[in-house]
Amino acid sequence: NSTGSSEAQETKKTASGKTEVVFWHAMSGDLEKSLNKIVDEYNKSQDKVEVKPVFQGTYEEAQTKFNTVAGTKDAPAIMQTFEVGTKFMIDSGKIQPVQKFIDQDHYDTSQWEKNISSYYQVDGKQYSMPFNSSTPVLVYNKDAFKKAGLDPENPPKTYDELKAAAKKLTEKQGNKTSQYGFSILNYGWFFEELVASQGGLYVDHENGRKGDAEKAVFNGKEGQNAFNLINDMYKEGTFYNVGQNWDDMRAAFQSKKIAMFLDSSAGIKTLVDNAPFEVGVSDLPVPKEEDRQGVAIGGASLWMSKGISDETSKAAWDFMKYLATPEVQAKWHVESGYFAVNPKAYDQEIVKKEWRKYPQLKVTVDQLHKTKSTPATQGALISVFPESRQKVVTGMESLYQGVKPKEALDQAAKETNRALEVGNQK
Amino acid sequence: MSITRKWTTYLLLIAATLVLMFPILYAFSISFMSGAEVLEGKIWPSSFSLENYRDAFEKVPLLHYLINSFAVSIFVMAGQLLVSSLAAFAFVFIKFKGRDAIFFLFISTMMIPWEATMVPNFLTAQKLGWINNYLGLTIPFFALAFGTFLLRQQFKTIPNELYEASQVAGISRFRFFWNVVLPVSKTSLVTLGVYSFLTTWNMYLWPLLVTNTEDVRTVQIGLKQMQTQEISTDWGVVMAAVVVVILPTLLLLFLGQKRLQKGLTQGAIK
Amino acid sequence: MKKVELVNIGKSYDQKTNVIQDINVTIEPGEFFVLVGPSGCGKSTMLRMIAGLEEVTQGELLIGDVKANKLLPSQRDLSMVFQNYALYPHLTVEQNILFGLHTKKISKQEQQKRCREAAEMLGLSEYLKRKPRQLSGGQRQRVALARAIVTHSPICLMDEPLSNLDAKLRAKMRSEIRQIQRKLGITMIYVTHDQTEAMTMADRMMILNGGNIQQIGRPLDIYNAPKNTFVASFIGSPPMNLSNVSIENNLLVFEDRRAISMSTPHSNLNGKKEVVVGVRPEHIQLATNDNTSFIVEVDNVEILGTETLLTFHMGDKQWMAKWNGQWNIKVGERVPIFIDPKHLFLFDNDTDSCLHYEPSTEDLTVKGAFV
Amino acid sequence: MKKVELVNIGKSYDQKTNVIQDINVTIEPGEFFVLVGPSGCGKSTMLRMIAGLEEVTQGELLIGDVKANKLLPSQRDLSMVFQNYALYPHLTVEQNILFGLHTKKISKQEQQKRCREAAEMLGLSEYLKRKPRQLSGGQRQRVALARAIVTHSPICLMDEPLSNLDAKLRAKMRSEIRQIQRKLGITMIYVTHDQTEAMTMADRMMILNGGNIQQIGRPLDIYNAPKNTFVASFIGSPPMNLSNVSIENNLLVFEDRRAISMSTPHSNLNGKKEVVVGVRPEHIQLATNDNTSFIVEVDNVEILGTETLLTFHMGDKQWMAKWNGQWNIKVGERVPIFIDPKHLFLFDNDTDSCLHYEPSTEDLTVKGAFV
Amino acid sequence: MSAVTKTANSPVSVSSNPKEKKSMPNLLVGLSYLLPSLLLFGVFLFYPMIKTLYLSLFITDTQGNPLKFVGLQNFSYLFTDPNFLQSMKATFLFVLYTVPIGLIIALFLALIANEKLKGIGFFRTMFSSTMGMSVAASSVIWMFMYNSTIGVINKVLNLVGIHDVQWLLDPKYALIAVSISTIWMNIGFTFLILLGGLQNIDEKLYENARIAGVSYWYQLRKITLPMLSPTLFFIITVSFINAFQTFGQIDILTKGGPTDSTNVIVYSIYKDAFVNYNVGSASAQATILFFCILLVTALQFKLGERKVHYQ
Ligand SMILES: Nc1ncnc2c1ncn2[C@@H]1O[C@H](COP(=O)(O)OP(=O)(O)OP(=O)(O)O)[C@@H](O)[C@H]1O
Ligand SMILES: Nc1ncnc2c1ncn2[C@@H]1O[C@H](COP(=O)(O)OP(=O)(O)OP(=O)(O)O)[C@@H](O)[C@H]1O
Ligand SMILES: O=P(O)(O)OC[C@H](O)CO
Ligand SMILES: [Mg+2]
Ligand SMILES: [Mg+2]
């Protein structure tokens, strides 16, 4: 079906004769600063390749953009795509699997963290280069814990504990709530993770890894647990609706509007730096401790466009390899909170030093290491993931309107099915 | 006018101005505030520091975007003026069969929602290689039914005798268009120009679609990008960028307000 | 100086009805020819066909013996002055005057020379650098005139060029245009709906009504011998008084049974018993003791400084009399009237055409006066 | 029927310069009073001050003996007819006529009655349901008039109500308006820049120039005894001929050294040696053998059916003569002229005011004619 | 013709030459002036419009190439899809909130700014100023004002004892919030047009009313509004069309949420086409939108034109 011609594009060169590699990403704020620093260092480290990072908005916006230009000369050489875009990228036919370069280069992938790289492997083929992987964590305000008489070193682990803690943390002035106990961003990823951490699947066919997914199954018991949690807490008045914007959520935490919330490990460094109180980080809560299966990775990986010249591809591959070196990964980990793709990075001195300063960073790494590898924690593979996420978000939002959790979930599942059906006709 | 009526009118005018201008003034005010002041929800900054502006220019290449926006707006303005005036000229000064039908066709294009054509247009732009360059940002907007309509109304006020006089004198049609019709319609051209400039400058969805490099991005997209990137961290900087973005158009509007009003209504109604 | 000939000219805008028809006339070289008629009668249409701005749909147009039906306006070698002057508002007077002259392949020098000459002739020399809007109506008129003059075209067409001027200026421009036309000797075709203009300016004039020629001739001939009631009432101000009368013996009897006598029985009345009688206001005189035609009751008096207009009823119509001097007459006063039978016009009440008039024997010349 | 009195009225739009000043006049109840003057002289301004549409910045305005400077327009109990009629295009003729009548607390029945009456009087009865755009110019004019009439206000103001009509219609409406005013007996203040209108309609008129009163009086008095050159040339058509002359003995000597004699030496010339002489065109006669004043070369001849206009040079000016009849005179012909000294006007060449004229002894009445 | 042929040849030949020059018929000349417009309209309006109609009958790949003909399936699904129905509802509510209220406010402003007062030019400039405000900039400002914790709107509401409202997160308020900001953004343009319309009304009509002594409201009803009706008609039509096509403020303020409460059709089209890659469905929606606008405009013309008075 694809229109992507096999004709290779010309290699773009910079004024100084370096091969230009355009790199689209979705890293904003402090993350963008760190990324730019790394790119800068890379550009300075050699004289053949010049990487040009371009911010393209959120993951969703960036992927939208990529889709519009994929296969044309306007497409970037390297594209950062969030984990749920994996299937879409593979199906698009507009990318070259990095396996090709791994093979050509005899690159040793065993140095990678298995839990991460396996997400981007389909049928034994490595499609994209893992780069920034994260997991969801519970972030909380230690000062608020103390004030509420809770143990800041013993954050809630189960839903019940979470509810109880949230109740204590919720502060009212008159009938105006000045501090809410808990919040979850209206974003599909958190729901997916809450389901996965209980071992629940998102779609059928083993989360789409044993064949194209046809049916959403996230409205099962695990999904209902998650929705019930939100619903119950919202009804109790301990849950705050922060909307869909990551920044708004973090702002709400920093301004003490919420005492606990779920965040990506990628946000932790900035949070700890900026919060006017002590920040605690803990594992994702589960309904009951025995349910705990670990988490699926989040974040994003780097994809190589198809249709770019060999020279550009090589240059891009060189940059990808650079990013995977322990030194760079170490720096990236401590500055962003993303995992090191290459575990050797954790041995680097700066990591050790930073972990002492920011013990919170280690929590996320540990959580990943504790994860049991199952189809649930490997994450779902579906091409219409972004669309499905919108449906789930609408489901979450409808909870605040008094819709029953089960109904909301079923509706989201039904609409996801429709999206799958349409998607599978393509 | 009686004294009481005069003063109630003034009162209403001032009240309406305050309400209407508040968001703009508020943006100005915030653009000078430090992050802490913003979070405290102040209305007025404690000091007028230009730091936010410096940051804004540092964080995104605002200056570059401004230049792009200027280039695109000027280009579209010139294109619209030329294309619309050519068409309007034909509608007024050249009699031919089916003229009214074509005019109706033109007017009907105002009814087609741009968004309904967005997808194929994007594909067209892509095929033409117009993504990420000025062509894609400008040429699709050169033909403007509204502009043609506005100028047609203006051209109609040019006495037909002028045209006939030049026919008798043996002046070519194009020369008449260029040397008489255009200069005589200066006011309307300025009106349309200001209008085109403003609308192009403020264009949002299309540039969002067809630009993805900093080289050609316009300032509105820059603003949106800044908003995605910076909002929680620094409203002050974002507002500084807002101010930078709105200042040129506000100035243009203030300067051209009288003409704009004259020209717009002339074209719109009569 | 070129002849313009219209042969069976007709015009239809909609391919169905003719707005003018059967126009046959030859305008002689150097003649000042006026087209006159009420609004909508087709004057502009005819002029515009001559100019080439409107297609000739019937008949043949010859300009200087060349068939011109299909020529472009610019190929007809004529100039035109429009009602609203059609000055280019953004150009200076000078640029206006010279606009289009380049198409005639005239050297810059020659252009300048012509412009200077024309400006001088029309007293525009000091205004050459102004824009039209900085000029008064009369000055604009002159610029339009100058623009026509500099082309040195042998034919000039004018479409109601004075109708936007006030009465005083109009009178002045009338003689100015006439003088220039004489000086340059161009053939002038001039459209107006104002009979005074037609009377005072024309060598010959054509009176149009509803697209048909009513009469062509020298102004005084038309004034003195109008072919029909339309011409009679259109030419002359105030217009000729007209009423239906029946002929009884030698008397013309009005509807209210008042009567005036005819001088002699007229043979060419074809035995008609009902006719329309016409009398010009200036021929209704105050009766002296012995010649009263009848007595009228005055409806209105208007004293215009040197003459007095009286309005009164005759039959079913209001008539007007024009007397010299300032008459102290009150509304309602009864006044004896005398109408000399030799001043009577008689028209056919069916066809409106003139049945009888007595040619004027007056021949006022300066020499005659000295005799 | 109310009196309107202006005492020392002045007006300034910008608080600096006055556009009119020192206006003192009393308009009598039931009078038809015309304000006349060239464009921009302040006629509309004065009328609008009387109407209350413009603030009076100086002096006192009395309407029916009540000080009205500060009254609202609606409190002045007057009606107004505007130049472009100011009809409401979206309302029918009837609605236009009745617009605002409800504020006068008039019953619906009475409103209908008045509307019917006014419409009948003005021949509008069949058009009551039409919109203004479906009416001709004259009909619109009448609607505006009707709207003024139905208010039954004792004072009616009109600002150039006829200037948009063509000549014939204008003449007709002139007498129509005059007749209605007489019939209703209202006080009329009427603005025009057309001297014919002023002459034929006014009981009295005020001639304004540059915001100053030039003369107030009955039309004929003004015509016969203009106070200054402005009035002399403004009233009368063609206007009075004026030239600078020097007085040498009993002769008025023109710049080209031609001369005419004065009848007798005038005492009130204050020993002035340079004056402006004025002669009305109708007073320039063809000389008979023995009384030639001088001989002129004719520049232009215009024959208007019943009269002939001759243009010739006198000194630095073009003069005009108006003769009755159709004169067969060629341009360039030399004609002997006679000017009766009793028809000479003399004006001060510094102040322009009239130094001398001879009151007309003519008294044309019908009775007189019978004697 | 015969009359001419016997005269000398030369003038005849002279006169026949130019005839050839004239051979370019007006139609071609006219079209050549219209060519740029027609070409651009063709390529960027008519062709895509038709393409959209065509695509609405297909399932497409992610980049909008038709894959499979499905007939009216896209439409039939849409009409049963609660999300789309919600979009329709949001669109109509949005139009309903923004057009009449915006118009009334702008009319009010135009009326008070039409008085002849000292310094009125300043107020006119202020009132028209939102025309110079881009959607992006305005939306960012309003986004901040709506912020439930630090935004000024809640601060003011708190002062009068009203609770924090989650303007953009609460489906009850989100559409209203977006509407308010939209009204604000559009006021400048609407105001300018209406003011121009008011100034075109002959002053004499009011002077006559002053002499008649009718009240302000009577003048407003009997003179101003009828005389303004062509302008009103124009601006209502334009406002409707604009309202149906609103995109920027939705994208920045709410992204169609919460629970699709602000997911107006245009935004839904954008999401379907560019985020979910259902170009077929997006095209079907675009088609429906087109007919909605057509319908409303036609209705407007049918109902409105009768009440409009043209001079
Ligand atoms: N372009 C046209 N299409 C159709 N009919 C026309 C056109 N121009 C003029 N007419 C009609 O032709 C007739 C003659 O019009 P024309 O303009 O020649 O009159 P006119 O004598 O010049 O009148 P006026 O004194 O008002 O200028 C009128 O009935 C007019 O309605
Ligand atoms: N609103 C105004 N503001 C300032 N000056 C004005 C205004 N209205 C009129 N004038 C000036 O006052 C003077 C008299 O104007 P007015 O309208 O009374 O003249 P008019 O005699 O009615 O002229 P016309 O015959 O042209 O109507 C003019 O010089 C004019 O420029
Ligand atoms: O914010 P990030 O980079 O951790 O990504 C979160 C989700 O995985 C995106 O799908
Ligand atoms: Mg005409
Ligand atoms: Mg006036």
pLDDT one-digit tens code per residue, D306-327: 889 999 988 778 899 999 888 8
Q: What is the ipTM of this complex?
A: 0.82
Mutate to test the pocket of ligand 3, among A134, A302, A387 (most ligand atoms within 8 A of CB): A134
- Return the CATH number at C82: 3.40.50.300
Structure-token pair, residue A127:
């499609």
Structure-token pair, residue A352:
């050790």
Residue C211 CA: nearest ligand 1 atom is 14
Triad B168, B174, B177: Cα angle to 5°: 85
* Percent of chain B scoring above 90 in pLDDT: 20
pTM: 0.83
- Does E149 contact A252 at a Cβ distance shorter than 8 Å? yes
- Does E212 contact D72 at a Cβ distance shorter than 8 Å? no
- Does E144 contact B97 at a Cβ distance shorter than 8 Å? no
* Residue C97: predicted pLDDT: 92
* Residue D106: predicted pLDDT: 85
- Return the CATH number at C288: 2.40.50.140
D211 and D148 inside one domain: yes
Q: Does the pLDDT at position C167 exceed 70?
A: yes
CA of E213 to the centre of ligand 3 (A): 72
Q: Sign of the CA dihedral E290, E293, E296, E301?
A: negative
3-state secondary structure of A240: coil
CA of E15 to the centre of ligand 4 (A): 28
- Does E7 contact C7 at a Cβ distance shorter than 8 Å? no
Closest Cβ opposite residue E11 in set C65, C70, C72: C65
- Give the mean pLDDT of C109-138: 89
Residue B12 resides in a domain: no
C16 and C135 inside one domain: yes
D263 and D184 inside one domain: no
Question: Which runs of consecutive H residues, i.e. helices, occur in D235-295?
Answer: none
The average confidence (pLDDT) of chain B is 84
Residue B7 resides in a domain: no
C151 close to B (CB below 8 A) = yes
D277 and D209 inside one domain: no
Q: Regarding predicted confidence, which is higher, C370 or D176?
A: D176
Question: Which runs of consecutive H residues, i.e. helices, occur in A46-118?
Answer: 59-69, 86-92, 99-105, 114-117
Query: Which residue bears the tokens 């005899």?
Result: A106
Task: Find chain C residues with C-beta within 8 A of D219's C-beta.
Answer: 303
pLDDT one-digit tens code per residue, B51-106: 888 888 887 788 888 899 889 999 999 999 999 999 999 999 998 888 888 888 88
Relative to the alpha carbon of D43, which ligand is closest? Answer: 2
Q: Does the pLDDT at position E302 exceed 90?
A: no
* Residue E12: predicted pLDDT: 36
Nearest alpha carbon to residue D161 among D96, D89, D82: D82
* Percent of chain E scoring above 90 in pLDDT: 18
* Residue B232: predicted pLDDT: 56
Q: Supply the residue whose CA is at minimum distance from atom 2 of ligand 3.
A: A299
D45 lines ligand 2 (CB under 6 A): yes
Distance from CA of D249 to the nearest CA of C (A): 30
D315 and D189 inside one domain: no
D78 and D210 inside one domain: yes
Q: Which of C222, C302, C320, C360 to substitute to test the interface with D, most D CBs within 10 Å?
A: C302
Structure-token pair, residue A144:
């608020």
Q: Which chains form contacts with chain D, at 3 or more CB pairs under 8 Å?
A: C, E
Mutate to test the pocket of ligand 2, among D41, D48, D192 (most ligand atoms within 8 A of CB): D41
D210 and D235 inside one domain: no
E144 Cβ neighbours under 8 A, 6+ residues apart: B27, B30, B235, B238, B239, E150, E151
Q: Which residues is D141 bridged to in the sheet?
A: none
A84 lines ligand 3 (CB under 6 A): yes
- Does E275 contact A60 at a Cβ distance shorter than 8 Å? yes
Asked if B143 and B83 touch (Cβ cutoff 8 Å), the reply is: yes
Count the domains in chain D: 2
* Residue E121: predicted pLDDT: 87
Q: Which chains form contacts with chain E, at 3 or more CB pairs under 8 Å?
A: A, B, C, D
The average confidence (pLDDT) of chain A is 86
Q: Supply the residue whose CA is at minimum distance from atom 16 of ligand 2.
A: D42
Residue B257 resides in a domain: yes
Structure-token pair, residue A367:
């959580």
Spans in chain D with pLDDT lower than 70: 265-268, 361-363, 367-371
Distance from CA of B168 to the nearest CA of C (A): 5
Residue C364 resides in a domain: no
Residue C365 resides in a domain: no
In order of start, what are the domains of chain E with their CATH numbers? 84-307 (1.10.3720.10)
D240 and D265 inside one domain: yes
Residue D23 resides in a domain: yes
Q: Regarding predicted confidence, which is higher, C371 or C104?
A: C104
Residue D361 resides in a domain: no
The average confidence (pLDDT) of chain E is 83
B-E Cβ pairs (cutoff 8 Å, strict): 288
Residue B42 resides in a domain: no
Q: Which residues surround ligand 5, an ion (CB under 5 A)?
A: D 44
CA of D44 to the centre of ligand 5 (A): 4
Give D367's Cβ-side CA count (13 Å radius).
5
Count the domains in chain B: 1
**C-alpha to C-alpha distances, C347 to C199, C342, C356, nearest whole angstrom:** 22, 15, 7
Q: Which residues is A133 bridged to in the sheet?
A: A299
Residue C48 CA: nearest ligand 1 atom is 18
Task: Find chain E residues with C-beta within 8 A of C71's C-beta.
Answer: 15, 18
CA of C171 to the centre of ligand 4 (A): 20
D15 lines ligand 2 (CB under 6 A): no
pLDDT one-digit tens code per residue, A274-292: 888 899 999 889 888 777 8
Residue B38 resides in a domain: no
D38 lines ligand 2 (CB under 6 A): no
C182 and C246 inside one domain: no
pLDDT one-digit tens code per residue, A288-330: 877 788 888 888 999 998 888 888 888 999 999 898 888 888 8
Burial A247-275 (b: 16+ CB within 10 A, else e): bbbbbbbbebbbbbbbbbbbbbbbbbebb
pLDDT one-digit tens code per residue, C226-264: 999 999 999 988 889 999 999 888 888 988 888 888 877
Task: Find chain C residues with C-beta within 8 A of D324's C-beta.
Answer: 324
Q: Supply the residue whose CA is at minimum distance from atom 6 of ligand 3.
A: A299
D214 and D280 inside one domain: no
Give me the phi and psi of B50, to 5 degrees please. Answer: -90, 10
Q: Does the pLDDT at position A1 exceed 60?
A: no
Residue C75 resides in a domain: yes
- Does B232 contact A69 at a Cβ distance shorter than 8 Å? no
Task: Find chain C residues with C-beta within 8 A of B168's C-beta.
Answer: 51-53, 73-74, 78-80
The helix (H) or strand (E) run that includes residue C140 is: helix C137-150
- For residue A400, the chain E residue with the least C-alpha distance is E170
The average confidence (pLDDT) of chain C is 88
E 201-240 residues inside an 8 A Cβ radius of B: 230-231, 234-235
Distance from CA of B212 to the nearest CA of A (A): 7
pLDDT-derived band at B230, boundaries 50, 70, 90: low
Task: Find chain B residues with C-beta within 8 A of E282's C-beta.
Answer: 119
Residue D105 resides in a domain: yes
- Return the CATH number at B142: 1.10.3720.10
C78 close to B (CB below 8 A) = yes
Residue B20 resides in a domain: no
D21 lines ligand 2 (CB under 6 A): no
- Does D82 contact E311 at a Cβ distance shorter than 8 Å? no
CA of A39 to the centre of ligand 4 (A): 79
Residue B45 resides in a domain: no
Task: Find chain D residues with C-beta within 8 A of C369's C-beta.
Answer: 286, 288
d(CA A83, CA C345): 109
Domain ranges, residue B140? 51-265
Q: Which chains form contacts with chain B, at 3 or more CB pairs under 8 Å?
A: A, C, E
Domain ranges, residue C232? 227-355
Q: What is the DSSP code (8-state) at residue C284?
A: E
Residue C371 resides in a domain: no
What's the 3-state SS for chain E?
CHHHHCCCHHHHHHHHHHHHHCCCCHHHHHHHHHHHHHHHHHHHHHHHHHHHHHHCCEEECCCCCEEEECCCHHHHHHHHCHHHHHHHHHHHHHHHHHHHHHHHHHHHHHHHHCCCCCCHHHHHHHHHHHHHCCHHHHHHHHHHHHCCCCCHHHHHHHHCCCCCCCCCCCHHHHHHHHHHHHHHHHHHHHHHHHHHHHHCCCHHHHHHHHHHCCCHHHHHHHHHHHHHHHHHHHHHHHHHHHHHCCCHHHHHHCCCCCCCCCCCHHHHHHHHHHHCCCHHHHHHHHHHHHHHHHHHHHHHHHHHHHHCCCC
Residue B3 resides in a domain: no
**C-alpha to C-alpha distances, A263 to A134, A232, E191, nearest whole angstrom:** 10, 20, 46
D63 and D183 inside one domain: yes
Residue C369 resides in a domain: no
Structure-token pair, residue A106:
């005899």
CA of C160 to the centre of ligand 4 (A): 7
Asked if A69 and B126 touch (Cβ cutoff 8 Å), the reply is: yes
C208 and C278 inside one domain: no
Q: Which residues surround ligand 4, an ion (CB under 5 A)?
A: C 44
* Residue A143: predicted pLDDT: 92
pLDDT-derived band at E17, boundaries 50, 70, 90: very low
